[in-house]
Amino acid sequence: LLVGAPKSKLASVQEPGLVYRYDLQSGSYHTIRPSELNDESGFINSVTHNLIIRKAYGWFGAVMAVRPGDNLLT
């Protein structure tokens, strides 16, 4: 079971959001965090604009979709 907690907090970043992966049989869980907690910057060539990804209040979360009969979870 995946649970998105978009307003979860970390000591180093304000409300970056977290995802929790629960094992329903054992009752244990694992926290999934954004891989990079520092702000990121770059450049988008196609529109000639600078890009800044701020991690504070980023609301990282999870979305799941299941198509019946496909055995596919995305």
Burial of 33 (0-12, 13-18, 19+ CB in 10 A): middle
Structural domain count of the chain: 1
- Whole-angstrom distance, CA of residue 19 vs CA of residue 71: 22
Greater confidence (29 vs 57) lies with 29
* Per-residue confidence (pLDDT) for residue 73, from 0 to 100: 58
Euclidean distance between CA atoms 59 and 44, whole angstroms: 23
Average predicted confidence (pLDDT) for the chain = 80
Q: Which comes out higher in pLDDT, residue 65 or 17? A: 17
For residue 69, what are the domain limits?
2-73
47: which 2 tokens?
A: 């529109």
Q: How confident is the model at residue 28 (pLDDT cuts 50, 70, 90)?
A: very high
